[in-house]
Amino acid sequence: MSHTASWRNRLVHIHPDHSRIARSAVWVSMFALISKSAGALKEIAIAYRYGISNVVDAYQLTLTLVTWLPATFVAVLSVVLVPALVELRAKPKQEQARFLGELDAMAISVGVVFAVLLYFSWPFALDLMAHKLSAQTSAMSRRIMLGMTPVGILMLTICVYAARLQAREKHVNTLLECVPAMVLLCFVVPWHDASSPAPLIWGTTLGFICHAVILGVFAGRADQLRARFRFSLSSPQWPHMYRAVGVFMIGQLIMSLATPLDQYFVAGLGDGAIATLGYANRVLGLLVSMGAVAISRATLPVLSELLSAGDNVRARSIALKWSLLMLAIGGVMVVVAWFLAPIVVKLLFQRGAFSAADTVAVSGLFRWGLIQIPFYFSVLVLVQLFASQGRFKAMAGIAVVNFAVKAVANFFLIRWLGITGVVLATGVMGGSAFVCYLSLTLKKTGPL
């Protein structure tokens, strides 16, 4: 039998679980391309209108602080909720609706608590993070915070709706992630005052509101449930949720400090440094989404279903194969993106207030940031496996180790390499995560 015929035979007899993951990954990749294209247009508009300025410094710093706690909670919920909602499908409709209603109410309540904490702690957080930025930038950041406070509440609500869709293997939530970017774009483009953060404030807040409303409608249609708000915790699913969220939250909370940590170190380099790093991370984010979002959202429902049926060996085998495949795909993407970096950054940003010198600075950072891509793609598959197995203690422990690696790498590399050291430290952290997850997976340990 020829090699071609052999490969054709393998493809014909591929396991249905691999086919489900591949189909879902293709759809999510297509939706992510559309969504991130909208994000790219938004970044182009911001670069054209503001360039590398103190307005962008203030906006990106404020967005980081406003979304820090909610994003940490979202990172935990998005992993914990999907397996729980997959299991919930076997329960009576009334029980499903009760839990979802309580979950919606809990998301809003936690978001309000985070918003209140943010408001009262803002002066201290800003003094810590922006100690070397100008007084004008700090004052602008305070103004932006007041207008963007609702974003944190909306993020938690959006996370719940997205998990409901993902548990049903519906991936329209990935497509709808373009809504905040499109709304923000509509505010930034017609605005002519490059010294005003108003379009960034209004566009961001209203964008998240529209996203939450539309996603809620689709989630209700997907699971055919009408969940009414219930400010109680009487559903039998909550004890498991407490344990999973509580353990995982510790590690994720520590891990979430990586972004503020980067901005803390970069802020010490003066005005413009945060904006430069932000643009580089935005381009990296476009690249990451095409693989990372697709594979994580495609594998989690399948792995959860297999483990719910007790097929641990099959789930582990699938996760390892897809993890190694994503490592290889990530490596190829790094090589291609490294050569295309200056062209892509120039195409995206170099117009208006964004100069050729800014292109050189951003593309250089972007290239070093590519080191994290293969590790990130590969680790995401194993994260879905660990979450489906309920191994949240192991995940929390790995998060603590990774943050320690990141902090040490930042401390030394930024002194040796300047702002380049920050993105290089992220690559070191990615390698550490890959080694930790792969080692524990190969040990064949059960749920922790």
What's residue 131's pLDDT? 60
Return d(Cα 287, Cα 32) in angstroms, integer. 10
Question: Which amino acid type is present at position 275?
Answer: A
What's residue 7's pLDDT? 40
The residue ranges of the chain whose pLDDT is under 70 are 1-29, 32, 129-133, 242-248, 256, 263, 267-273, 289-302, 304, 307-311, 352-353, 444-448
What's residue 270's pLDDT? 61
Return d(Cα 315, Cα 325) in angstroms, integer. 15
Return d(Cα 55, Cα 210) in angstroms, integer. 25
- C-alpha distances in angstroms, 202 versus 42, 171, 185, 188, 447? 14, 28, 11, 10, 45
The pTM is what?
0.66
What's residue 445's pLDDT? 47
Return d(Cα 346, Cα 102) in angstroms, integer. 48
Closest to 174 measured CA to CA, from 81, 313, 48, 35: 35
What's residue 208's pLDDT? 92
